[in-house]
Structure 1
Amino acid sequence: MVELWTTDVRRGDDALDDLATEWNDLFDRCAAASPFQAYAWVHSWWRSYGVPGRLRVFLVRHRGRLVGAAAFQLRWRAGCPVLTPLGGSITDFTDVLLDDETAAAAAPILATAMVGDRGWQAIDLPESRTGTALVAAWPGPHHETAGSLCLELPSSEMEDLVRGLPSHSRKTVRRRLNQLKKAAPEVREVAAGEAPQAVESLLRLHRRQWHGRGGNPEHFAPAFAEHLTRAVTAMISRGEAALVEYRFDGELLASSLILIGRDLVGGYLFGVDPALRGRVDVTTMLLADALPLAHRLGRPTMSMLRGAEGHKSTWRPAEAPNRRVLLVRPGSLRGGGYARGVLALRRATELAKEKAPWVKAVRDRLRWRR
């Protein structure tokens, strides 16, 4: 006889290896699942970045069917053992997966299974979109603070977006669209079998784009290329990603990686040959494909993901701030101290931004040099 509810806590480095089918099925039953909770993304990240012996996977099944899943890596921060979600700094949204139909019942069971696992004192979800369903079910203290700011547009055809812009912006965008039409790029989506070579081209263009101007150092690391190649290949085959290439006069000059969740499409990474910038407006070109893609797929949102760069403001996106969620093990003094430290650091950071904005510029410069 199948038990009504069961839990499974896994610690082996191969804990994710046999879960692809179940995990993908659960992903399809979670309406708010972002592409960063897709099995291909999580599993590939662990293979490229995971520290042996640190994987923790928590599973909840109802009548034998997987209805809750969470994967973490154990890390030591300020002397405190903390569970952090797989995905690290290259992941824009962090959360657990819960089946929509059983989420209310499964969340406390998942929380109980996590508390029953020893060796950690706090859980740190740095980029939660909605505050995570675990908060209401958590038996111990929890805290929230601001995460990254994301910008979003409602999915639509490009013309509908342009029509709703203020007149001065509308004229500018129409001029850019006409310029793009005259340039007549060949636009194509890459098939899964072509993904490894296409990812290599994307990263090569991305390096050219940022040459001499900084950029995110992680995007130039071998581990990132390995992870992205493996994850994107699988995600394209599942309809969880699209890799779009742009050729001008037969030459590949731009490439854009779009990730597809259950309720949004997100522009994740692009690479552009610097020579293209004098010919077309790159942001307009990329959005002209990503926005209609979200509309065709029936996803209500086209997300520009993390960051409020100036070039995004033309489109009048809505702000969608992430939240950093801290869950403390019941009765844990070390876990509580870690959470208080995170909150204090956040307050200090906000104060520094307000009183001494030059500090951020110095920090970013030091990060790049390091």
Structure 2
Amino acid sequence: MTTTTRQTPDLATEVVTGSSRLRALAGEWADLHDRSPAATPFQSHVWLSSWWETYGRNANLSAVLLRRRGRLVAAAPVMTVRRAGLRVLRPLGGDQSDFTDVLIEDGDPDLPAALGRALAELPGWDVLDLPEVRPGADAERLAAAWPGRSWRLPASTCVELPGVPLGRLLAGLPGKNGNKLRRELRRVDEAPIQVRDVPAAEAEHAVARLLDLHALQWQGRGINVEHTKPRFRAHLARAARRLVAEQQARLIEYHLDGQVVAVDLVIVGKDFVGGYLYGTHPDLRAQVDVVTLLLRTDLGLAHELGRPTMSLLRGAESHKTKWGGQCAVSHRLLLARTPAATAYALAARARVGGRTLRGRWARLDRVRGRALGRRWEALDRVLRRAR
């Protein structure tokens, strides 16, 4: 279903509430995506329509579109869900998208405010919650033009490396860490591992192998449970096939002794290459450092495609930060339509504060543990000398 209203003589608002109509937007959505410099593959029609097909059953679609003389110039792909009694607009793509955004055609400074008015006039919601807005996203322009209250909270941290070959990156790393990583790269270079790009026609089978290996590598540890569910497998296989076909993703297989020992899904954005998800056989870790193996290929791809950045996407774990690079912090943007949004924002801010406090206590506990360990070691040395 579609409803249309008019903002100005040449600018019309359209609200799409039906799945079939969303599917029919594929061509012009792709055109708008091309004209939106900040857009990532997580805002592509391929990714969003696949996600909605799998995850959209318990939500109400309300994709807000702006057209100028019939041409699509802005889009906010959102849905209405219930959270703690409030009506919340959430973006399509959910937690499976590393970046959240709207789409706005480049070159018209009035479009963010026009899209804001169209969203504000949409009935039946209290707060718009955009959880992973990367620096420079169109959603930041929307928030700046928002007619009501808004809140900006820290979200995920992404480690970003320059899009240069791994050897060149490691050449600039000093000290013991740099030497260790260079040794790991030499081991990877010497290993008889073949690397293969998977064509779109084989993408669904490759994704199945990826997820099987991913479950195997996390066996007995804290895997993201969603990655083990049939619905995620269905979405990722369908989306990966289409993204690979449209050159917005690469599926890369690693072969050793005739067996597939690793599969890596790499997202190809306009200004970055991003490591989305990989699976490796545990036996491979005995031969090479897996992250070094994957980064050698992914950084080479970024360099080949002329992308200035290789993003390790959400998370700043030690296996990512050891390569140097910079940390880019995404933000959660909350835009209010009704006064009830304030309570939602305060609760969200309190959760951020709780995570920060828990993180500080965890770091303090680790420091205290190391200090206590050093004291016991010193005491043990004294006792040994006394004996």
Both structures adopt the same fold (TM-score exceeding 0.5): yes
Deviation at 1:263, TM superposition (A): 1.4
Q: Number of aligned pairs? A: 355
Question: Residue 327 of structure 2 aligns to which amino acid in structure 1?
Answer: E
| Equivalent of 2:85 in 63, 79, 85 | 79
2:24 partner SS: coil
- Name the CA distance, whole Å, in 2 between partners of 1:158 and 1:182: 15
| Equivalent of 1:127 in 119, 132, 135 | 132
- Name the CA distance, whole Å, in 2 between partners of 1:265 and 1:136: 28
Deviation at 1:23, TM superposition (A): 1.0
Q: Does 1:305 align with 2:310?
A: no
- Name the CA distance, whole Å, in 2 between partners of 1:281 and 1:356: 27
Q: What does the per-residue CA deviation read over 1:10-60, in whole Å, with 9 as the maximum and x for residues that have no partner?
A: 122334111111111111112121221111111111001002561110111
| Equivalent of 2:148 in 134, 140, 152 | 140
Query: Is residue 40–residue 270 contact of structure 2 (8 Å, CA) maintained in 1?
Result: yes
Question: Residue 252 of structure 1 aligns to which amino acid in structure 2?
Answer: V
Check 1:178–1:234 CA distance in 2 against 1; reply closer, same or farther (3 A cut): same
- Name the CA distance, whole Å, in 1 between partners of 2:300 and 2:69: 40
Check 1:270–1:356 CA distance in 2 against 1; reply closer, same or farther (3 A cut): closer
Partner of 2:255: 247
Partner of 1:264: 272
Q: Does 1:29 align with 2:61?
A: no
Q: What does the per-residue CA deviation read over 1:277-307, in whole Å, with 9 as the maximum and x for residues that have no partner?
A: 0101100000001112112212221100011
Partner of 1:49: 55
Greater mean deviation of Cα atoms: 166-175 or 153-162: 166-175
- Name the CA distance, whole Å, in 2 between partners of 1:89 and 1:276: 29
Q: Does 1:353 align with 2:359?
A: yes
Query: Is residue 59–residue 81 contact of structure 2 (8 Å, CA) maintained in 1?
Result: no
- Name the CA distance, whole Å, in 2 between partners of 1:164 and 1:218: 38
1:120 partner SS: coil
Higher relative contact order (CA 8 A, sep 6+): 1
Q: What does the per-residue CA deviation read over 1:48-95, in whole Å, with 9 as the maximum and x for residues that have no partner?
A: 100256111011122322111111121111110000111111211101
| Equivalent of 1:14 in 15, 20, 40 | 20
1:308 partner SS: coil
1:333 partner SS: coil
Question: Residue 145 of structure 1 aligns to which amino acid in structure 2?
Answer: L
What's the C-alpha RMSD, in Å, of the aligned pairs? 1.8
Partner of 2:117: 112
- Name the CA distance, whole Å, in 2 between partners of 1:53 and 1:334: 20
Q: Does 1:180 align with 2:208?
A: no
Query: Is residue 13–residue 52 contact of structure 1 (8 Å, CA) maintained in 2?
Result: no
- Name the CA distance, whole Å, in 1 between partners of 2:153 and 2:49: 28
| Equivalent of 1:229 in 213, 233, 237 | 237
| Equivalent of 1:61 in 62, 67, 74 | 67
Q: What does the per-residue CA deviation read over 1:195-237, in whole Å, with 9 as the maximum and x for residues that have no partner?
A: 0111111111111111111211010010000000110000001
Deviation at 1:352, TM superposition (A): 3.1
Report the TM-score, using the length of structure 1 for normalisation: 0.92
- Name the CA distance, whole Å, in 2 between partners of 1:54 and 1:358: 44
Greater mean deviation of Cα atoms: 153-162 or 235-244: 153-162
Partner of 2:162: 154
Partner of 2:378: none
Question: Residue 193 of structure 1 aligns to which amino acid in structure 2?
Answer: A
- Name the CA distance, whole Å, in 2 between partners of 1:211 and 1:352: 27
The alignment-based identity, stated in percent, is: 44
Partner of 1:364: none
Deviation at 1:105, TM superposition (A): 1.6
- Name the CA distance, whole Å, in 2 between partners of 1:327 and 1:136: 10
1:14 partner SS: helix
Partner of 1:101: 107
- Name the CA distance, whole Å, in 2 between partners of 1:92 and 1:56: 21
Which ranges in structure 2 are unaligned for 5 or more consecutive residues?
A: 1-7, 366-387
Question: Residue 130 of structure 2 aligns to which amino acid in structure 1?
Answer: L
Check 1:313–1:346 CA distance in 2 against 1; reply closer, same or farther (3 A cut): closer
- Name the CA distance, whole Å, in 1 between partners of 2:210 and 2:86: 38
- Name the CA distance, whole Å, in 2 between partners of 1:352 and 1:315: 26
1:6 partner SS: strand
2:220 partner SS: coil
Question: Residue 354 of structure 2 aligns to which amino acid in structure 1?
Answer: A
- Name the CA distance, whole Å, in 1 between partners of 2:9 and 2:219: 58
1:51 partner SS: helix
Report the TM-score, using the length of structure 2 for normalisation: 0.88
Which ranges in structure 1 are unaligned for 5 or more consecutive residues?
A: 360-370
- Name the CA distance, whole Å, in 2 between partners of 1:272 and 1:357: 30
Instruction: Please show how residues 208-227 of structure 1 align to structure 2 within 5 Å.
Output: 208-227=216-235
Question: Residue 116 of structure 1 aligns to which amino acid in structure 2?
Answer: E
